[in-house]
Amino acid sequence: MRQQLDYVLRTVEERGVRFVRLWFTDVLGFLKSFAITPAELESALEEGMTFDGSSIQGYSRVQESDMLAVPDPNTFEIVPWRGDDAPVARMFCDIQNLSGEPFDGDPRYVLKRNLDRARDKGFTFYTSPDMEFFYFRSAESPEPLDHAGFFDLTHGDMVSDLRKQTILMLEAMGIPVEYSFHELGPSQHEIDLRYTDALTMADNVMTFRLIVKQVAQSQGVYATFMPKPIQGAFGSGMHTHLSLFEGDVNAFHDPGDPYGLSQVGKHFIAGLLRHAGEITAVTNQWINSYKRLIIGYEAPTYVCWARNNESALVRVPIPKRGKESSTRIEFRSPDPACNPYLAFSVMLAAGLKGIEEGYDLPPEATNNIYEMTPEERHAEGIGSLPQSLAEALEIMESSELVAETLGEHVFEYFIKNKRKEWSEYTAYVTPFELDRYLGTL
């Protein structure tokens, strides 16, 4: 530990870093940041920095509002976008109460707590999300970049420049990527983050969202992770590939099984399926999230699994020959506007529950789920994902699994905050209603 601190202090000195940004995440998944000078760094690393938590979503407490942000020296990185003359560095923080106890409302702590549970069972949890997002001309309206005449750059130049810069910056921050260009939605893109342990990945998702937005802004455009910005077009998902390892053995893999899946893998999927409804409010936390989870846009709507069905909730990709150990499952409902710490926590918890209880894996879904009548689906035991935030919250509220996973503090805050959002929404008269009703009723 001492050596890590030395490394950070020495690097700050050698590189002439002027400011160190301390990053943490509120309960809703927004990145929070404050800067300290190198002079404050040593004591920040050793004792933490006191800050007022009352203005942070989900941190407020009646009794006390002061808390400590303790930087994690493992996450120290020079931030590449400020130029070399006055480099800026960042570190993710763990939040503690003044007494030095981890703060229950800190999403990073929630994830750490759940990873510890997995580790007690001998598992390391790896995730690899596919991040989808849109570029628009501004935050004012979802206007794609595809229209010609935008500044003096053509669309193609602009996009390839955005892409190049984003990838270079991600790699400079130690986030290796695979890029795939999307034509499904206008101006929609997908960048796949290569797998790593879930804690680092949650940090990476936070960094990723910032970098994508910053690069876009530097080119005078706007990037958004809103799940469904354009009606009638594909939404943005965060399909997340999950795997558990025991040591360096892939716990999901069994060469003798026709699906290549071990019992552990099957129980894990069964856990995800059985608790899918309960965790959806966390993986899809906005009212708009549910505009994406509809039929016809490759987003999952039914709770089922399949090997090669883009609409199944859980997909088991067939590993390439010779790469059998890359057996993993893909959970397709989350969207990129989730809080990654909490989303990874509930996915892990649902899967682990399946392993603990030895849930049986239902049969693979056939391709014609959409043609089945509701009765037929019911007979096959195929349920639906919640269709609105309100429904998702209702299911979550009675879930012991989610309460336990998030901890009382986050669980209560989350429900309260989201209920408020929903009640504001219900009071809103939408363009849909005006279009449809004003002229006829």
Partner 1 sequence: MEPLLVFPDPPPPLLAQTLDLAGHPWKAVSNAAVAAQSEPTDGWAGAVVCAEDDTEAAFGICRSLRKRDATVAPTLLLISGAQLGELELREDLFDDFCLSPFHPKELEARLRHLFWRNGKGTRPEIVEYGNLVLNLETYQAALGRKPLDLTYMEYELLKFFATHPVKVFTRAQLLSRVWGYEYYGGARTVDVHVRRLRAKLGEEHANLIQTVRSVGYRFGQARLPGSRSESTEPVDDA
In the complex, the residues that contact partner 1 under the rule CB under 8 A are 3-4, 6-8, 10-11, 14-15, 73-78, 80, 112, 115, 119, 124, 126, 128, 171-172, 174-176, 194-197, 199-200, 241, 245, 247-248, 323, 325-326, 328
- Note the residue count of the chain: 441
Closest CB to partner 1 among residues 194, 420: 194
Work out how close the CB of 123 gets to partner 1 at its nearest, in angstroms, rounded to a whole number.
8
Rounded to 5 degrees, φ, ψ at 17 are -65, 130
Select 59 or 125, whichever has its Cβ closest to partner 1: 125
The CB-of-325 to partner 1 minimum distance in angstroms stands at: 6
- Least CB distance to partner 1 at residue 171 (A): 4
Nearer to partner 1, 127 or 284 (CB): 127
C-alpha–C-alpha distance, residues 93 and 104, integer Å:
14
CB of 45 to partner 1, least distance (A): 12
Tokens of residue 52, six digits: 């007022």
User: Among residues 140 and 248, whose Cβ is nearest to partner 1?
Assistant: 248
Task: At 197, give phi and psi (nearest 5°).
Answer: -60, 150
Q: Least distance to partner 1 from the beta carbon of 195, Å? A: 4
Please name the residues in contact with 413: beta carbons below 8 A apart, sequence gap of 6 or more: 27, 58, 105
Residue 431 CA, chain-centre distance (Å), reads 30
Provide φ and ψ at 97, rounded to 5°.
-70, 165
User: Which residues, 6 or more positions from 85, have their beta carbon under 8 angstroms from its beta carbon?
Assistant: none
Give yes or no for a contact between 309 and 366, defined as CB atoms under 8 angstroms apart.
Answer: no
- CB 330, min distance to partner 1, A: 11
Output 349 or 392, the one with its CB closest to partner 1.
Answer: 349
Under DSSP, the state recorded for 359 is P
Instruction: Find all residues with CB under 8 Å of 320, minimum gap 6, and list them.
Output: 326
Of 28 and 91, CB closest to partner 1: 91
* Token pair in block for residue 351: 């899967």
